[in-house]
Amino acid sequence: NRPAKPGGKSMPLPRLVDTVNALAHMLVSGIDKWSSREDEQVASSQHLRLACFHPAPVLERMRTEQTFQLGKLQKKCVTLVLINLEDLSAISAEMEPDKVAAILSDYYDVVRKTVFRFEGMLCFVQGAVALAAFGIPFSKENEADRAIICAQRCQRDCTALLHQMLPPDKVCDIKVTVN
């Protein structure tokens, strides 16, 4: 046995030799990427968290592209789309909580699907407000066009949803801002 590191455990010599042999074999056979189970669990957890905000093709590109680094600062031109259900608070005060939760859930679903269809990123969702960004993490030449079309579709689809879910005497406007 090797002496233990301060605060660490010692590794039996046969296990150390096996580990070194396995690494040498990996290098010789051309396997140059290796990660521990803990690293894979962290990556899987990170992937699940990002799946709420990015469409599947963007996640796959983030995973496979070596030039992409999460958290790396870059200068980019980004188009933002803000979608807001106006007056939902006033209307929801007179409704059952489960009905309000159903409306918000369906609203988020419509917004998420629409943003993902136009390859945007869902940045923020809270209450009756959703914020989408186009141009991050990857840029394309038509970001602004896709953002404007997405904003129009969100407004159209969310208005149709509210007409289905709200009583006829309740009116809730959809305010969409593109910047």
The mean pLDDT of 131-155, rounded to a whole number, is: 89
If one compares 73 and 169, the residue with the highest pLDDT of the two is 169
If one compares 148 and 88, the residue with the highest pLDDT of the two is 148
Tell me the per-residue pLDDT of 93-118, one tens digit each, with 9 for 90 and over. 888 888 888 889 999 999 999 999 99
- The CA distances from residue 72 to 45, 69, 137, in Å, are 19, 6, 10
63, amino acid identity: R
The rounded mean pLDDT for the chain is: 76
Tell me the per-residue pLDDT of 79-93, one tens digit each, with 9 for 90 and over. 999 999 888 888 888
Q: Which structure tokens are listed for 43?
A: 């990556």
Give DSSP secondary structure letters for 18-64: HHHHHHHHHHHTT------HHHHHHHHHHHHHHHTTS-HHHHHHHHH
Of 85, 99, 87, the closest CA to residue 159 belongs to 85
Residue 72: predicted pLDDT: 61
DSSP state of 95: S
Residue 73: predicted pLDDT: 58
CB 162 within 8 A of CB 172: yes
CB 105 within 8 A of CB 65: no
DSSP state of 136: S
User: What's the whole-model pTM score?
Assistant: 0.63
Of 108, 109, 149, 100, the closest CA to residue 129 belongs to 108
Q: Is the pLDDT of residue 27 over 60?
A: no
Residue 11: predicted pLDDT: 59
The mean pLDDT of 108-129, rounded to a whole number, is: 90
Of 14-18, 27-31, 100-104, which gets the smallest average pLDDT? 27-31
Torsion, CA 115, CA 121, CA 123, CA 127, rounded to 10: 20
Q: Is the pLDDT of residue 32 over 50?
A: no
